[in-house]
Amino acid sequence: MLDTIFALSTGAPPAGVAVIRVSGAQAWQVFAAFGISQGLPRQATRRRLLGDDGKLLDDAIVISFPAPHSFTGEHCLELQVHGGRAVISAVLDRLSRIAGFRLAEAGEFSRRAFENGKMDLVEIEGLADLIHAETEMQRRLAVEQSSGGLSTLYKGWADRMTRARALIEAELDFADEDDVPGSVSHLVWPDLEALLLDVTHHVDAGRTAEIIRDGLKVVIAGPPNAGKSTLMNSLAERDVAIVTDIAGTTRDVLHVDLDMDGFSVRFYDTAGLRSTEDRIEQIGIDRARIKIEEADIILYLDEIGNDSLSKQKFGTDAKILHIGTQADRYPEDTAAEGYDLRISAASGQGLPELRRMLLSDIGFIDQKTAFSMPARERQRQNLRNMLEDLSLALVKTGESLDIRAEYLRRASQSLERLTGRIDVEDLLGVIFSEFCVGK
């Protein structure tokens, strides 16, 4: 029998209220331990929690969730106590002295929910992302996954694959039976072609999901004194980087995370790109080029009238925006060509337009369907594996039907690994380690 686990599920004290969660077959022992009676399931009941000496520990709200109708699928209890450190410590200490009870490990409640079939792996990952969401778009993406929206989509695909494989297996195994048609290709392959298109579009949307979840990486690059640090400070609305008129002031990569219209955007301020004999500055330039290679967007800054971008060679497919700086010092018709935008960080000219240009790279997000996207690389890789085998099943028309059926079986397995139905034991420790204790 598994241990009964308990943990503080709310934030660090002090707080107005603290929720202590208990889960396991012996969870109802809590009532005897604290000298209280059990109320009706899923109804909040006020109870006076008593210590071993019969003295009052706290006046609490107690809610019971009998198995299997609970978050973990086991008997669960929630003790809502006052959020002072002493109260929480006293209640946890009393729980620790109940036979078979122990403090939960990080993510153990969620892991039991997964193992008891209450949530699949996609929903679990969405729950982890929801806990860590910092922007509105991250919240909405995580809610779509944690609430089962994405899992429903994958289940529909799995059902289509199962039907196709069943028809093919019927033809392979019972070809001589009168009630099995001689060929099922007209039933199977057109739908699988449509499924291939659906999955392809879904994987393509993963780029947007990656940006929403992990943030848009924007590197501010350019020659010394082009205004990179000034722009960073203007966007952050605080002094993140030191600004001087001395070339080579910025020698390391600085970053700041901003919430722009609900999207997480990470800006990197980098050392000015130039030839130098200064070893320390050269290290900063090398680090700048590494960040440039990892960027989603490069804001290449040049003082208006300069064109150092044409002298640069970047090994990246990132979008490059050539930004002319110090626009407040130059008339509109001065060297206007060659820039995607003219700005002045000092006066604020062009900064609203720059924000719109950055957000336009994420693309239009449809309010109803766009958040059904694979947000993690693990999910995208399993979908790519599924696409590869599904494509082979469709194009290998010269192969025997049993070979094509094997490709379909492998495609189905990739989809099952995505939701955690098979072969994911080595992933569980990594995934659940992202959770806090009590979740």
d(CA 308, CA 297): 18
CB atoms within 10 A of CB 182: 8
Non-local (6+) Cβ contacts of 111 within 8 A are 428, 432
Taking only the tens place, the pLDDT of each residue in 191-235 is 999 999 999 999 998 888 888 888 889 999 989 888 888 888 888
Q: Which CATH number fits domain 4-104: 1.10.10.10, 3.40.50.620, 3.30.1360.120, 3.30.360.10?
A: 3.30.1360.120
Q: What's the pLDDT score for residue 180?
A: 47
The tokens of 225 are what?
A: 């004194």
Read off φ and ψ for residue 255, nearest 5 degrees.
-140, 160
Topology of domain 215-360, CATH: Rossmann fold (3.40.50)
CB 437 within 8 A of CB 21: no
Q: What's the pLDDT score for residue 229?
A: 85
CB 224 within 8 A of CB 262: no
Map out the domains of the chain as residue ranges.
4-104, 123-205+371-432, 215-360
Q: What's the pLDDT score for residue 434?
A: 59
Radius of gyration of the chain (CA): 29
pLDDT lower than 50: segments of the chain: 178, 180, 242-249, 364-369
Residue 432 Cα to chain centre, angstroms: 14
d(CA 213, CA 145): 12
Q: What's the pLDDT score for residue 356?
A: 87
d(CA 326, CA 315): 28
Distances (CA, A) of 71 to 31, 74, 109, 226, 342: 20, 8, 8, 55, 54
CB 107 within 8 A of CB 127: no
d(CA 129, CA 77): 25
Q: What's the pLDDT score for residue 219?
A: 93
CB 268 within 8 A of CB 220: yes
d(CA 63, CA 40): 8
d(CA 68, CA 304): 67
In CATH, the number for domain 123-205+371-432 is 1.20.120.430
d(CA 215, CA 234): 19
* Strand ranges for 146-215 from DSSP E: none
Q: Which residue, chain included where needed, has tokens 């779509």?
A: 144
Q: What's the pLDDT score for residue 286?
A: 83
Q: What's the pLDDT score for residue 8?
A: 96
Read off φ and ψ for residue 257, nearest 5 degrees.
-100, 130
| Alpha-carbon dihedral sign for residues 313, 319, 264, 387 | negative
Nearest 10 degrees: CA dihedral of 21, 26, 32, 38? 70
